[in-house]
Every structure is written in C-alpha cells, then in structure tokens.
A and B are shown apart, each in its own frame.
Chain A
C-alpha cells in the first residue's frame, strides 16, 4: 500500500483479556517502530525492529507487552492480561533505513485506539 496501515482502528476489550494489534509498513521499509500515545500526551517509544529482529525494546513497559515481526514486514504488538492503564492509541511507523542514517523519516500509520474496560 501507499502508507502504513494499522488494524483494527479501534479495539475495545475487557480487563484481563489478550489483544493483538497489527501494523503493515510501507513496502520495502526495513525499520519498524511502535509508539504509544496516551490521552493528552506525545507518543512514547515502545520497540524498534530492524528486519525480523527487535533492535531496541527498551520502551516496552513490562513483560505483558510483546511484539513480533516474523518475516520482516508485518508486525504484531501483543498485550497480555490487559489493564485499564493500557488504554491509549498505539502508533506504528516505518522507515527506509535505520542505523547511521539519521536523516531518514519515520512514516506513521493512523493508529489503533485501544480501550480497556
């Protein structure tokens, strides 16, 4: 596709449930990023992939959060035992390159709004 796509656009779940959020990056982009944006705040970094591997997962808040990118394209963010505090917009971004090229641009998807009741 022309841009980064994310599904679903909205997800409502109950506390304690498991959710998966999907990101489809721009074709050919090797770098993929997940961010979380809580209400009234700027996005915060969660995890970054280069190809299939997670190069930096320092932003994941705890071990309930996990992300994969098995074929180096689509990525899934997985949240176990959801809590009300996980409610936020989860943003995905991709870029053409990563290491050493700090002029590259991250292109963002529209986000998935997660609501935990």
Chain B
C-alpha cells in the first residue's frame, strides 16, 4: 500500500539551530510529495511540494526538502529554527488515483529559546 512514514513523532531544537524532519515513502515509482505545516488551531498550510522537476525543493519560510529516490526519502530541513516554526509537520504523498492525499502521522516540532 502507498504510505509515508515520519520517523520522529517529536523533534526539539534550540532557536537558531538546524531543523531536520525525516520522511520515507513506500513506492516503486517517484510519487508527488508534499510537506504541510499545521499551527495550533489553524488550517494546514503547504510548505513545499515535489513533482519531479527538481530533487531539491525550496519552500516557504526557509524550508527545503530533498527527494532521494535511492533512499525513498523526502526529509525536510531548515538551516536555522525560529520560535514561530513550532508546529506539527506532515509529510504527504499524492495517491496514484484521484489526487487524494495520504498523510504521515506527523512530527511535532518544538523550538526552545
């Protein structure tokens, strides 16, 4: 079955240090992949998306992700964390059918002063 696995349920970093949120996908082909962020009591917001145009994808707020087919990974990174980055992050893939999204379980990012 098509799925995405987020390897960490919680990640804690200090402000100003790098962020790494890990995601692996299961597939025999290169799917469309996304990262969404969910701040408390707010809707899901798209950070970035991979659709095979380039393996390194830049998103909003300084985030980027690299698609690695050999590792079936799509990890999210940011060089320097801000307090405002504290939120829930979801790795998401597009299903092979009608564009429904399949979400990972989420990674809660905490940023400490």
Contact = CB atoms under 8 A, between A and B. Distances in A.
Interface of A: 3-4, 31, 33, 35, 40-45, 48, 50, 55-56, 59, 91, 93, 95, 98-99, 102-111
Q: Which 5 pairs from chain A and chain B are nearest by CB? A: A42-B103, A108-B44, A45-B100, A110-B43, A108-B43
A108 B95 CA distance: 17
Given A41-B106, A42-B105, A109 B43 contact: yes
B102 interface: yes
B98 A48 contact: yes
Interface string B85-112: 0000010101101111111111000000
Nearest to A9: B41
The CB with the most chain B CB atoms within 10 A, among A44, A50, A102, A110, is that of A102
A45 B95 CA distance: 10
Contacts of A41: 105-106
B51 A33 contact: no
B75 interface: no
Q: How large is the interface on B (under 10, 10 to 19, 20 to 34, 35 or more residues)?
A: 20 to 34
B95, B99, B102: which has the most chain A beta carbons within 10 Å?
Answer: B99
B49 interface: yes
Contacts of A40: 106
Given A103-B49, A105-B46, A108-B43, A42 B90 contact: yes
A95 B45 CA distance: 13
B51 A43 contact: no
Given A42-B92, A93-B44, A98-B98, 11 more contacts: A31-B99, A42-B105, A44-B103, A45-B101, A48-B99, A102-B32, A105-B46, A105-B49, A108-B43, A109-B43, A110-B42
Contact of B51 (A35, A45, A56, A102): A102
